[in-house]
Each structure stands twice: as C-alpha cells, then as structure tokens.
C-alpha cells in the first residue's frame, strides 16, 4: 500500500470516529433536560466541520489517485530510459571528479569484460594502459568548462589483459553553485577504425627495399617470404600433367603472392610487365598485429581469385572458359573507358591459352569471333577492351 494512501485511510478512520461521536452527542442531547441554546448550535457546527472533513478526505483520495497514476507514468519512463542507458550501442559511465566509477551501462561491462559489481567504485585509470596513465591524469586535471564535451583517444585494458583503442568524450556536471560534481563519459571502441586508418596510410615501401623485375623475368620464391606488388602485374602458373603451363593467378598492384600461399609442387611467378615488389617475411606478419590486419584480407583476395580460376577450368567448353576468364579479368584489372572496360595489362594469346588450358590457335580463332561480334576491341596500345562481356 502507498504510504500517502495509508495516511489518508488513517485520516478517514478518524473522521468516521468523529461522526460516531457526534451522533452519540445528538442522542444524548435529546435524552437529557433542555440545555441552553448554545448546545444545539455547537453540535450543528461540529456536524459542519465533520462534513468538511469528508470533503477534504474525498479530495485527498482523488489527489492520491492522480499521484499514483503520475508515479506509474514516471516509473515507466524511468525504466524506459534505464533500458536505453543499459543497452546503448556505446558505453556510458558516470564518475566522480577523481574518475571513480559510480555508474556504468552493459556496453561498458562487455568492453572491459568485468562484472558490473566489480566495476563500480573502481578508478577509471585502472583500465588505462600503463604507458598512457600519465596522459590520462593530465586530461582529468584540465577538465574545467561546464557542459562542454572534451575528447580523449586512449588505449584501454580489459580485465582479460586484452587492449582496445577507445574514444572518451566527457562532460563535467556541476551543482547549482557551479561546483563540479560528476563526470559523464561516452566510451567507444575505435580499434577497427584506427586499424583501417593505419592500413590506408601504410606504405609497404617506406622502410623496405624495392625489388624490380622486367617483363618476362621470373620472380624467385621463398616459402618464408610473401611478395607485395607495388607496381605492375605478376603471372602465377603451374604445370599440368600434359607438361603444359596453366595460369592459376594474377597478382596486380596492391595484391600479394608467394609459395607459402599454395600447396602446388610446381609454382612459378613471372612478370607480365615491368614490376616493383616488396618482400615481407612471415615472422614480421606474426609479430605485428597491424601487419597481420593489413595482409590477411590481401591473402584472402588471392585465394578467392585462385578458386575462380579453378572453377573456370571445370567448364567443358573452351569458349565458356575464355568468356569466364575475360569476366574475371574485367573484375581484377578492368578500368572504365569510353568504349567499355579496358584491361590495364596486356595478355598474349598464349597467356589466354594457358588460362583456358587450350592451344594458342584455338584462342586466336575465338578472339576473332568475339571481335566480329563486337564484344571486344583493342586500343592503340593493343590493350584489350571488353564491350559486351557481362
């Protein structure tokens, strides 16, 4: 039962007791000898007071019902905003001015990988990487302007000893006298964004020697080395059972290749055009999370391309193989021009024959037919242009 309603009920009981007392007085007044005129007037006045008490009681009941309704609305709103706070996509924290945690939502709990009961009352600096704690202390000291957000990008530590890059946006909350009371923090995990940013800015050739290979030159392969193509294009081939060369990959600018990425016994890399390569040792990739983050998608890209070549080899008809090879090249090395899509590297009919596992004569015949149909043409530098290859 609501406390206010309990008080009203008590008041109603008192009013009812007074009513009974007045009724008894009326009965006694009629039974005794006549009294002075003042007694009936007094009893009448008491009855009026009792009636006013009943009116007041009814009004109190009405006001209490409205209060209970308002409280229910406020409680629903409170629960709604509590859920928004707890399940927000970003972390929210409330600390005192020293950085001691008073409140934290579920996102913060997940980021720090710690039970909320253990999180509250801890100092935020405990979750800051050791090398950045002095920077965090300096940041706290400089917080002064009320209602103005300030941002700090810092490395934070999880309870499981893992780290993540975080953006902390904080606002100082003050009391009516302008005295700082609490700090309100917005916490975001920006690890992926920073890695992507670093990857965009990463220059493989900034601190590594560049290896140059002329057109037709074979690139040496080492199981412990991955090559990164800074410029040009590299043809990757193997030898099939008939001792014929077979194209299994094409590494162009921004791609990687190496014998570590294949289980083929015979694997050869040949420069299709003049190329510039950078070598990366496997131990470097293992030791550097950033380098691993950059290299892994490139390896995945190469493997997908290899699978595409293997799928093409499964086609029975030579013309279908050629058509699919052209579509793959359009995707890998195509660039838009007025006539269609121009292949940025030049492949000979022999290269296409190797890719399609057929003879050069057959490729020449199929190319002539595609040209007659208006599906391909050549620019003044003999680069193949695909016009209606979809």
pLDDT tens string, the chain, 390 residues long: the values are: 444 666 666 666 666 666 666 666 556 655 555 555 555 655 566 666 666 666 767 777 777 778 777 787 777 776 766 666 677 678 899 999 999 999 998 888 888 888 888 888 999 999 998 889 999 998 888 886 655 678 888 889 887 768 888 899 998 888 888 888 899 999 998 887 776 766 665 667 667 888 999 989 999 999 999 999 999 999 998 887 777 778 888 898 889 999 988 888 788 999 988 999 999 998 888 877 778 878 888 888 888 888 888 888 788 899 998 999 898 888 888 889 988 999 988 888 888 888 888 888 999 999 999 999 889 998 888 889 998 776
Please, which residues bridge with residue 165 across strands?
Answer: 155
- Same domain, residue pair 206 and 306: yes
CATH assignment of the domain containing 148? 3.30.450.20
Sheet containing 211-213: order of strands: 211-213, 275-281, 225-231, 256-257
Domain final residue, candidates 256, 279, 311: 311
Eight-state DSSP code of residue 339: T
- Judge contact between 230 and 277, C-beta under 8 A: yes
The SS3 of residue 96 is strand
- Same domain, residue pair 206 and 307: yes
- Same domain, residue pair 306 and 325: no
- Same domain, residue pair 174 and 230: no
Give the start-end residues of each E strand in the chain: 91-96, 101-104, 150-157, 163-174, 180-189, 211-213, 218-219, 225-231, 233-239, 245-252, 256-257, 268-271, 275-281, 334-337, 340-343, 376-378, 384-386
Asked if residue 168 is part of any domain, the answer here is: yes
- Same domain, residue pair 115 and 187: yes
- Same domain, residue pair 43 and 116: no
CATH assignment of the domain containing 250? 2.60.120.10
Question: How distant is the alpha carbon of residue 49 from its chain centre?
Answer: 70
- Same domain, residue pair 103 and 142: yes
Find the largest Cα–Cα distance for the chain.
143
- Same domain, residue pair 61 and 112: no
Report the C-alpha gap between 214 and 369 in whole angstroms. 33
Domain final residue, candidates 191, 226, 246: 191
Report the C-alpha gap between 366 and 322 in whole angstroms. 8
Asked if residue 277 is part of any domain, the answer here is: yes
Domain count along the chain: 4
Asked if residue 196 is part of any domain, the answer here is: no
- Same domain, residue pair 230 and 303: yes
CATH assignment of the domain containing 350? 1.10.10.10
| Whole-number pLDDT of residue 1 | 43
Domain final residue, candidates 53, 85, 117: 85
- Same domain, residue pair 290 and 365: no
Asked if residue 156 is part of any domain, the answer here is: yes
> What residue numbers bound the domain in which 169 lies?
91-191
| Whole-number pLDDT of residue 114 | 86
- Same domain, residue pair 17 and 57: yes
| Whole-number pLDDT of residue 24 | 64
Asked if residue 133 is part of any domain, the answer here is: yes
Answer left, alpha or beta for residue 239, where phi above 0 means left and psi between -120 and 50 means alpha.
beta
The SS3 of residue 335 is strand
- Same domain, residue pair 213 and 295: yes
Say what angle helices 318-333 and 289-313 make with each other, to 10 degrees.
160
Asked if residue 31 is part of any domain, the answer here is: yes
Asked if residue 351 is part of any domain, the answer here is: yes
Report DSSP letters for 321-332, one per residue: HHHHHHHHHHHH
Let me know how many helices (H) and strands (E) the chain has, helices first: 11, 17
Asked if residue 96 is part of any domain, the answer here is: yes
């Amino acid at each position: 039962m609501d406390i206010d309603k309990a008080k009203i009920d008590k008041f109603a009981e008192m009013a009812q007791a007074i009513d009974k007392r007045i009724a008894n007085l009326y009965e006694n007044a009629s039974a005794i000898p006549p009294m002075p005129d003042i007694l009936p007037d007094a009893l009448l006045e008491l009855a009026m007071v009792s009636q006013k008490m009943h009116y007041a009681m009814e009004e109190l009941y009405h006001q209490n019902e409205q209060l209970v309704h308002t409280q229910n609305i406020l409680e629903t709103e409170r629960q709604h905003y509590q859920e928004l706070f707890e399940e927000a996509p970003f972390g929210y924290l409330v600390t005192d001015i020293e950085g001691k945690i008073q409140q934290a939502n579920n996102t913060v709990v997940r980021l720090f990988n710690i039970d909320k009961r253990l999180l509250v009352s801890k100092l935020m600096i405990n979750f800051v990487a050791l090398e950045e704690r002095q920077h965090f202390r300096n940041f706290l000291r400089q917080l002064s302007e009320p209602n103005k957000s300030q941002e700090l990008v810092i490395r934070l530590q999880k309870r499981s000893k893992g780290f993540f890059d975080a953006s902390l946006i904080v606002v100082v909350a003050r009391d009516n006298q302008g005295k700082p009371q609490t700090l309100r923090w917005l916490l975001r995990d920006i690890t992926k964004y920073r890695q992507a940013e670093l990857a965009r800015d990463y220059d493989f050739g900034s601190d590594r020697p560049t290896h140059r290979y002329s057109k037709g030159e074979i690139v040496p392969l080492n199981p412990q080395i991955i090559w990164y193509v800074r410029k040009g294009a590299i043809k990757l081939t193997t030898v099939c059972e008939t001792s014929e060369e077979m194209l299994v990959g094409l590494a162009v600018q921004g791609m990687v290749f190496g014998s570590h990425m294949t289980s083929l016994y015979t694997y050869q890399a040949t420069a299709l055009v003049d190329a510039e390569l950078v070598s990366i040792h496997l131990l470097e990739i293992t030791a550097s999370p950033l380098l691993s983050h950059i290299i892994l998608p490139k390896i995945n890209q190469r493997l997908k391309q290899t699978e595409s070549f293997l799928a093409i080899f499964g086609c029975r008809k030579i013309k279908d193989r050629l058509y699919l090879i052209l579509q793959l090249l359009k995707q890998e090395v195509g660039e838009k021009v007025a006539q269609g899509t121009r292949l940025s590297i030049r492949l000979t009919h022999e290269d296409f024959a190797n890719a399609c596992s057929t003879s050069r004569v057959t490729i020449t015949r199929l190319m002539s037919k595609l040209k007659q149909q208006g599906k391909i043409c050549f620019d003044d530098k003999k680069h193949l242009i695909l016009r209606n290859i979809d």
